[in-house]
Amino acid sequence: MPILQFSVNQTLYLRNPNDSVLGRKIISESIRLINQLGFEHFTFKKLARAIGSTEASVYRYFENKHRLLLYLIDWYWLWMDYRFEVVTQNLKEPKERLNACLKALLTDDSPGANGHEPNLRALKNLVMAEFEKTYLTKHVDQDNREGVFLPYKTVCKKLAALIREINPSFPFPHTLISTVMLTANHQLFYAEHLPSLTDIKAHTGHSDTQLECFLQLMIYKTIEP
Amino acid sequence: MPILQFSVNQTLYLRNPNDSVLGRKIISESIRLINQLGFEHFTFKKLARAIGSTEASVYRYFENKHRLLLYLIDWYWLWMDYRFEVVTQNLKEPKERLNACLKALLTDDSPGANGHEPNLRALKNLVMAEFEKTYLTKHVDQDNREGVFLPYKTVCKKLAALIREINPSFPFPHTLISTVMLTANHQLFYAEHLPSLTDIKAHTGHSDTQLECFLQLMIYKTIEP
DNA sequence: ATGGGCATGATAGCAATACTATCGTAAACG
DNA sequence: CGTTTACGATAGTATTGCTATCATGCCCAT
């Protein structure tokens, strides 16, 4: 099984974490720790302790914890983009392609993984809980100019293009897709923590099927001419 | 003009900020400062300096800045709930009522304000940028048990009930409404900062009309039998 | 093999943050 | 008139976020 490697925006790191053992430990352990503590309570000192290294060494890879978060999330969307390519390569019809992407977006297929690439299930959780914090800041515009949101925007653009293919006259493809993306991220969180905000039931074993069902309904009804 | 007062969840403050001059200064100045600095860089020390008081005094009103944020945001949703009551009181048809609520949700009517209640436009901005940070934390469940999300949930429930009235057999009223609420919050932010994620154009003077148009389209198409 | 570069570990230090505690005073309240 | 109370003033502490310095041990080129 090939090891997944994506070239993340170089402005996000000082030293490429993929090039060294320590760097890879920083990545895998930060995913675990951010999940465990939440991003607010995650610090480089705690991370360093967890990997048996020092704060100073972590700072040699990442300017600060916010850049590290951006790195992880960029990686996630690059991976999602790759998944989209994989699941759509044999499909012609835009509707089929969109459905395949939706399924890829919602289900984690990680089980078979060989344990050496980042823990994908944990990374997905991290994105669910922390993604919005990457752009709801006072330096969005600067980060955006550096291109740190490109992988996410690429994913959105591809889906919007599929909407366009299905109904070229629909006036809000991008708005609809970013709505879908947000919802995909949030509804499972609601199901678990704020159940009165959703009709999806957590822990039924098919909460992502319910969500997929809702999203398909919403998309196709909304764009139908 | 009556001064707007809502009874915010009492667990959110140590001393009711409405009962004193200092308390009211804390509220109005924190809205301004959080908007200016972003919640991450907002501190009680800066707030105290801005109102000519001390850190210790602010801590006598709020346990920490996160509780203060929750207070502001609860106040906002209580206010929105009140607006919903006002704009729907003369309307019978659920569809008309829902449309009125949507309009209330999107437009700021603050202009006529007398300048003594919280700056509503600023508060709306604050909610747009910081709302999700209130529940995307490791202590959601505990906060939720204390009822700090009730005002938001109330607003969502009322809209979901309207959906139910319009089409009782639609299976996802809460999911649809929480999707709408998120979108209402985010799309204008996208228009301003991440325009490739939306079709809505900022600074055209009618961006909220475009958004209203999209949301109505999405809602009514999605729920139609 | 040898000397130079380079990644890391070790340690220190500093300014800011997130609080907590104590004390005096002046107004408010009964 | 005495007492509560709200507030300001000051101090202090642990943690965070970050920078700097130095020694060591490894690899790579000569």
Supply the CATH number for residue B71's domain.
Answer: 1.10.357.10
Q: Is residue B185 assigned to a domain?
A: yes
Provide, rounded to the nearest whole percent, the portion of chain A with pLDDT above 70. 95
Distance of alpha carbon B136 from alpha carbon B57, whole angstroms? 28
pLDDT at B4 over 80: no
CA distance B194 to chain A (A): 8
Q: Is residue A26 part of a domain?
A: no
Q: What is the mean pLDDT of residues A72-97?
A: 97
CB proximity list for B190: less than 8 A, separation 6 or greater: A178, B197, B198, B200
The residue segments making up the domain with residue A133 are: 70-223
The string of pLDDT tens digits covering residues B16-75 is: 999 999 999 999 999 999 999 999 999 999 999 999 999 999 999 999 999 999 999 999
| Residue A19 within any structural domain of the chain | no
Rg (C-alpha) for chain A, rounded Å, is 18
Q: What is the pLDDT of residues B184-196, one digit of tens each?
A: 999 999 999 999 9
8 Å CB contact between B34 and B121: no
Q: Is residue A10 part of a domain?
A: no
In this complex, the residue with its CA at the shortest distance from the C1' of nucleotide D21 is A56
Q: Which residues fall within 8 angstroms of residue A61, CB to CB, at 6 or more apart?
A: A13, A14, A15, A17, A22, A23, A26, A68
In a domain, B136, yes or no: yes
Q: How confident is the model at residue B108 (pLDDT cuts 50, 70, 90)?
A: confident
pLDDT for position A1:
43
Let me know if residue B118 belongs to a domain.
Answer: yes
Q: From residues 29-58 of A, list those within 7 angstroms of strand D by Cβ.
A: 41, 43-46, 55-56
pLDDT band at B1 (very low <50, low <70, confident <90, very high): very low
Mean per-residue pLDDT, B126-136? 97
What is the CA B60 to C1' D3 distance in angstroms? 21
For the beta carbon of residue A204, count every other beta carbon within 10 angstroms: 10
Considering its fold, how many domains does chain B have in total? 1
Q: Examine residue A103 and state whether it is found in any structural domain, yes or no.
A: yes
Provide, rounded to the nearest whole percent, the portion of chain B with pLDDT above 90.
89
Residue with tokens 């939720």: B144
pLDDT digits (tens, 9 = 90+) for A30-57: 999 999 999 999 999 999 999 999 999 9
In-domain check, residue B2: no
Strand D proximal residues, B:48-77, Cβ < 7 Å:
52-57, 60-61
Q: How far is A172 from chain B (nearest CA, A)?
A: 6
